[in-house]
Structure 1
Amino acid sequence: MKLKSRKLTGGQAAIKSLRKEQVKHVFGLIGSATMEMFDAIYHDKKIKFIDVRDERTGTHMADGYARASNQPGVIIAGQNGPGATNLVTGLAQAKAAFSPVVSLAGLYSTKDKMEDAFQGLDQQSLFEPVTKKTITLKNSKNIPNAISDGFNVAMSPRRGPVCINLPRNLLAEKNNYKINEKIKSFKNTNNTQSNPNSIKRAAKLISNSSKGIIIVGGGIKYTSGFKPVIELAEYLNVPIVTAAGHGDAIPFNHKLNAGQMGPRGNPVATKLTKEADIILAIGTRLGFNSTFYSFENINKKAKIIQVELEKKMLGKYFPIKIGINADAATTANQLLKEFKKQKIKSEVKIWTERFKNERSKYLFQRNNIPSKNYPIQPPGLFKELRKVLPKNSAITLDAGTLCLQATDALEYYNPPSLFTPLDFGLVGFSYACGLGVKVAKPKRTVVSLMGDGGFGMTISELSTAVEHKINTITIVMNNKSWGAEKAYQKDFFGKRYLGADISSPPFSKVAELYGAKGYKVRKLSEINDAVKSALKVNKPVVIDVDVDPKALYSFRRDSFKHRSK
């Protein structure tokens, strides 16, 4: 097909390039540096612009959108300098989570010297450490190619964020452009197959095992590739353990699902990982939040077979017996075909039956713990949420002691359903991420758990939610403190509290002032009715829950081993 050349401003060409990539939603905050782009969006009928109150939270929205939709999330920082610098935290979070966020940032004119320009800053150097690739335009004719390259890089294995700096004078210049809107620059799937010899070696190793497990992570979760993993686990009759923050990689109710492993997981999955003689790690780096990079959390004698798309991650944190550089779900299918030619050890049945009994006891005890009505304890709150939240719920979590306790305490049925900042440990992520998830999946119930400190950071986005009818439910677990830090001061610094206690306005009332719906919960007996009512409200909802300020837990005890007693 012969394309017609059209005379466009650089800003119009940029938006036409987004159309080429089939972008339907753009998050952003306007600024004078990129007015030509925003004017082009105004005239566009296919791209919905969601104006945010802060570029950082807008980046978290784009991040949540990307993770939930399996499409790039797009954020525009309209102003160079301070508008662009606000992107940094969100892009660093996206990079840690391998999330394909494409950020477009305004930049001072190419005619200006950086040190003399108003709001001038070396944005190329600024963004390089927190992105997979940073591109700074020098010629307006290159705008379509740069955006095409950005989307391709963001979505190529291993995925990650990209920043494109667009000088204001280039966006105003007019040129003739040929942009084919029918062919996007990236693919959503990767079917890279494993080497057949590696598959045979892995199958032979696993066949000789009597205490094997499969550990799955984001490589399965974000591709919804759990079906071949389940088929493989069922054929081998071995438990499936999920990496921390990826408890939704396998539907909760599958009989072989052990839940999340490690310091932030549950005791059953953690015990399996410490005792397994063979570990098949599919789509996981065996990273920090799952293992703390310590043999205290994984059997030192276990033979590890690791399947990873990013070659440099193979064996990066633990010695491996076999490394397979390929797509996780595709490899699971290949292994299943190979195993059907081999005999499985009968001893596996004893190992797996023991696991099932321990998992059953653990879940029974978890669901039957006595719950204080007041003050509300986190396990009691999570117990009630398990009862009342719909099975299709998508859950977003913040960092912090209360949200970390929730990581394996809730149930996830439809991958991807759990969105966390665990790789970056970011407070202030959950609420904004939830808005992005809801935009991507409008029919799903989206519930964002936050502490009072984190919600205070991002509360202004209630305005965005109300304006654009992004109806999520936010549960603020209000313990009137920076809980994780207060726990460390309690356990390691003689209860010498400084800056740990915080005060906040009544979030339920603030929500009403923004035009949302607010509920206040002081007793555990009130949470069920509040959530049930929230599910029926056609507005954004904030449920402010008083949680016992003394219910503190030091997750990173290992960080303070250096302290003398």
Structure 2
Amino acid sequence: MSAPAPVYEGRQRVSASEAFVETLVAQGVTDVFGIVGSAYMDAHDLFPLAGIRFISVAHEQNAAHMADGYARATGRHGVCIAQNGPGITNFVTAIAAAYWAHSPVVAITPEAGSATAGLGGFQETEQLPIFSKITKWQTHVNSPARIAELTGRAFHYALHERGPVQVNIPRDYFYGEIDTEIPRPFRVERGPGDAEAIRQAARLLAEAKFPVIVAGGGVAMADGVAELITLAERLSAPVVNSYLHNDSFPASHPLAAGPLGYQGSKAAMHLIAKADVVLALGTRLGPFGTLPQYGLDYWPAQAKIIQVDADLRVLGLVKKIALGIHGDARAAARAIDAELSARLGERVPNAGRLAEIAAEREAWAAELAAQAGTNEAGRVDPRRALAALAAARPANAMVATDIGNVCSVSNSYLQFDTPNSFFAAMSFGNCGYAFPTAIGAKVGRPDRPSIAYIGDGAWGMSLAEVLTCVRENIPVVAVVFDNAQWGAEKRNQIDYFDSRFLGTELQNPNFAEVARAMGANGYTVEHEDQVGDALRLAISSNRPTVINLRLTQALGDPFRRDAFKPPRRLLAKYAAYSARG
């Protein structure tokens, strides 16, 4: 559905709510996520007339996650709105996740009335400070006459600075008549970066004995996968995905080695360990995505790093670099390739390197298959379940993953050939992320299947949105990993606290039955050979579906072995408790 054109051109006298809604229309907004509230009801009443679908959710945090998923799936703005005070504070966790995912989310935050600000009235709090560190830009509408101007500017910054923004509007400023003009969006194209730096990058790569490319989220955001493929093929360079950006380079390509980071690909790690030059394209090289894994300290400390990013501030922030390029990933890849073409001429595949990449991929695939555990009566080994889900997943499906042990292990099994297909909570790592994000992605891309992977603990934070899917007819598939535990933290208790389980064991209902009671489809899976059939059936039904996937309690490695030390108990009673085992 496309938004209708704004109803007027030039400067006109309109109500403040009309000016606000017409600004949304001008920005191409067709969907808004939130919970209705009296603070903005005058504008809300105009949404249907403006061609804007309002998706009423169960909890405001999930509205902002939906806006995030929508933005990541479409490349357009995701918009969320709620009641002032508690409705807005519920946005915080999801806006923080959107910040670390570089999602152009526009959070509309109606505020308590301007005439009573500071008096401690009903549902009043200062709404700008709490978002100050997790937004790219904030604005407070200080006059109804500026509501269109400032709202339009927020949309502009969100898209071009790639991150969430906040538009704070006193609730009384939606009323009254104003003379205003609706700002129209305009594109600002990013260039490849400094020409001399591009030439230096080409020289370093041309002279490299074993160049490796790290494809970050910025590649997909810039629609630069095709340009990266051309560049990688000219160099015969293996391409590894940055952490949780498994869709930044097609997994089926012979140069693809898989993701770095927690539960990533050993093939990627072995190959980048050999690099003498690393091209980090569209990535900040976040610390969690380059830590040792599987006992491998794989980051090539002596390699020369060329880092390309649209955000100047991340260049050289995490890793020492030989060359920084402030530019667009797509434009930079094209420019570097042009320089290499002049230096190297026709592309000649490096047969030896291609064979090495293929061997590493095959070795990792065999090792991964060998890690499958044993099924139990009525329960499936997590790795077997993840492999079966991967085999049954349609090629064009989008997947959102939550945080947690099994969801994190899925990083080893999730491969994509299409960008904007994989959505995770990134370095913010909050529970309850996957399902609402998958909902937003499905609203934005109704032509593609949308699947959420969620642990049974995190499912408690978002299962109410099944009601939203039923009411709004959003056919998302939730795969709930039912192993009756908070697995990530339980693993820490096993490794460091002598298996003293406090707060990590769960008693669950049958979530498939709960889903059916809510009006959705619900399937219970207890055997390995049922996993793929259940996913295929759920997708083909085109209805909201919950798959209650009963798993054994087998757990993968913990997130951070380096983050824990053996506990010390200085007081006698605590020392005795520690020794109890």
Q: In which range does the TM-score fall when normalised by the shorter chain?
A: over 0.9
Deviation at 1:348, TM superposition (A): 6.0
Deviation at 1:388, TM superposition (A): 1.0
Counterpart for residue 206 of structure 1:
205
More moved, 46-55 vs 348-357: 348-357
Counterpart for residue 527 of structure 1:
531
Deviation at 1:120, TM superposition (A): 1.2
What SS does structure 1 have at the residue aligned with 2:508?
coil
Instruction: Give the distance between the partners of 1:314 and 1:563, measured in 2 at CA.
Output: 38
Which of these residues, 52, 59, 62, is aligned with residue 57 of structure 1? 62
Which of these residues, 18, 33, 51, is aligned with residue 24 of structure 2? 18
Question: 5 Å matches for 1:155-194?
Answer: 155-157=159-161, 159-179=162-182, 183-184=184-185, 186-187=186-187, 190-194=189-193
Instruction: Give the distance between the partners of 1:4 and 1:129, measured in 2 at CA.
Output: 36
Deviation at 1:276, TM superposition (A): 1.0
More moved, 416-425 vs 335-344: 335-344
- Structure 1 pair 225/562, CA: closer, same or farther in 2 (3 Å)? farther
Instruction: Give the distance between the partners of 1:298 and 1:365, measured in 2 at CA.
Output: 21
Instruction: Give the distance between the partners of 1:30 and 1:540, measured in 2 at CA.
Output: 23
Deviation at 1:10, TM superposition (A): 1.9
Instruction: Give the distance between the partners of 1:422 and 1:505, measured in 2 at CA.
Output: 29
What SS does structure 2 have at the residue aligned with 1:111?
helix
Instruction: Give the distance between the partners of 1:413 and 1:276, measured in 2 at CA.
Output: 24
Instruction: Give the distance between the partners of 2:357 and 2:390, measured in 1 at CA.
Output: 22
Question: 5 Å matches for 1:226-305?
Answer: 226-292=225-291, 296-305=297-306
Is it true that 1:358 corresponds to 2:360 in the alignment? yes
Matched to 1:318, the amino acid is K
Instruction: Give the distance between the partners of 1:435 and 1:37, measured in 2 at CA.
Output: 24
Matched to 1:498, the amino acid is L
Counterpart for residue 332 of structure 1:
333
What SS does structure 1 have at the residue aligned with 2:124?
coil
- Structure 1 pair 68/347, CA: closer, same or farther in 2 (3 Å)? closer
Q: Do 1:9 and 1:36's aligned partners in 2 also have CA atoms closer than 8 Å? A: no
Structure 1 residues 379-403: Cα deviation after superposition (integer angstroms, max 9, x where no partner): 1112111221111111110011111
Deviation at 1:48, TM superposition (A): 1.1
Is it true that 1:484 corresponds to 2:483 in the alignment? no
Which of these residues, 13, 20, 45, is aligned with residue 39 of structure 1? 45
Normalising to structure 2: TM-score of the pair?
Answer: 0.92
Q: Do 2:216 and 2:241's aligned partners in 1 also have CA atoms closer than 8 Å? A: yes
Counterpart for residue 443 of structure 1:
447
Percent of aligned positions that are identical: 32
- Structure 1 pair 220/4, CA: closer, same or farther in 2 (3 Å)? closer
Counterpart for residue 99 of structure 2:
95
Instruction: Give the distance between the partners of 2:102 and 2:471, measured in 1 at CA.
Output: 30
Is it true that 1:8 corresponds to 2:8 in the alignment? no
Is it true that 1:218 corresponds to 2:223 in the alignment? no
Instruction: Give the distance between the partners of 1:347 and 1:13, measured in 2 at CA.
Output: 57
Deviation at 1:142, TM superposition (A): 0.5
Matched to 1:24, the amino acid is T
Deviation at 1:321, TM superposition (A): 0.7
More moved, 380-389 vs 397-406: 380-389
Question: 5 Å matches for 1:129-144?
Answer: 129-144=133-148
Structure 1 residues 68-88: Cα deviation after superposition (integer angstroms, max 9, x where no partner): 1111100011x1110110111
Counterpart for residue 380 of structure 2:
376
- Structure 1 pair 501/325, CA: closer, same or farther in 2 (3 Å)? same
Q: Do 2:496 and 2:565's aligned partners in 1 also have CA atoms closer than 8 Å? A: no
Matched to 2:458, the amino acid is G
Structure 1 residues 124-147: Cα deviation after superposition (integer angstroms, max 9, x where no partner): 212212211221222100100110
Q: Do 1:247 and 1:408's aligned partners in 2 also have CA atoms closer than 8 Å? A: no
More moved, 34-43 vs 20-29: 34-43
Which of these residues, 61, 69, 76, is aligned with residue 71 of structure 1? 76
- Structure 1 pair 412/347, CA: closer, same or farther in 2 (3 Å)? closer
Instruction: Give the distance between the partners of 1:233 and 1:347, measured in 2 at CA.
Output: 10
Matched to 2:204, the amino acid is L
Deviation at 1:435, TM superposition (A): 0.4
Deviation at 1:477, TM superposition (A): 0.8
More moved, 539-548 vs 195-204: 195-204
Which of these residues, 397, 420, 424, is aligned with residue 420 of structure 1? 424
Instruction: Give the distance between the partners of 2:64 and 2:86, measured in 1 at CA.
Output: 15
Structure 1 residues 171-211: Cα deviation after superposition (integer angstroms, max 9, x where no partner): 1222233326xx32x43x74312222112211111122111
Matched to 2:193, the amino acid is S
Deviation at 1:41, TM superposition (A): 1.3
- RMSD over aligned Cα atoms: 2.2
Q: Do 2:438 and 2:450's aligned partners in 1 also have CA atoms closer than 8 Å? A: yes
What SS does structure 2 have at the residue aligned with 1:279?
strand
Matched to 2:325, the amino acid is I
Is it true that 1:48 corresponds to 2:53 in the alignment? yes
Instruction: Give the distance between the partners of 2:292 and 2:142, measured in 1 at CA.
Output: 43
- Structure 1 pair 309/517, CA: closer, same or farther in 2 (3 Å)? same
Is it true that 1:514 corresponds to 2:518 in the alignment? yes
Counterpart for residue 319 of structure 2:
318
Deviation at 1:261, TM superposition (A): 1.2
Instruction: Give the distance between the partners of 2:107 and 2:391, measured in 1 at CA.
Output: 39
Instruction: Give the distance between the partners of 1:116 and 1:243, measured in 2 at CA.
Output: 46
Structure 1 residues 17-66: Cα deviation after superposition (integer angstroms, max 9, x where no partner): 1011111111111111111111121432x211111111100000000000
Instruction: Give the distance between the partners of 1:384 and 1:293, measured in 2 at CA.
Output: 28
Deviation at 1:367, TM superposition (A): 4.9
Which of these residues, 466, 471, 476, is aligned with residue 470 of structure 2? 466
Deviation at 1:165, TM superposition (A): 1.2
Instruction: Give the distance between the partners of 1:16 and 1:368, measured in 2 at CA.
Output: 57
Matched to 1:10, the amino acid is A
Q: Do 1:200 and 1:338's aligned partners in 2 also have CA atoms closer than 8 Å? A: yes
Matched to 1:539, the amino acid is R
Deviation at 1:328, TM superposition (A): 0.7
Instruction: Give the distance between the partners of 1:204 and 1:533, measured in 2 at CA.
Output: 52
Deviation at 1:468, TM superposition (A): 1.2
Q: Do 2:97 and 2:426's aligned partners in 1 also have CA atoms closer than 8 Å? A: no
Structure 1 unpaired stretches of 5+: none
Deviation at 1:366, TM superposition (A): 3.7
What SS does structure 2 have at the residue aligned with 1:520?
strand
Deviation at 1:289, TM superposition (A): 3.0
Structure 1 residues 275-311: Cα deviation after superposition (integer angstroms, max 9, x where no partner): 2111011001111231139993411101101111111
Deviation at 1:93, TM superposition (A): 0.8
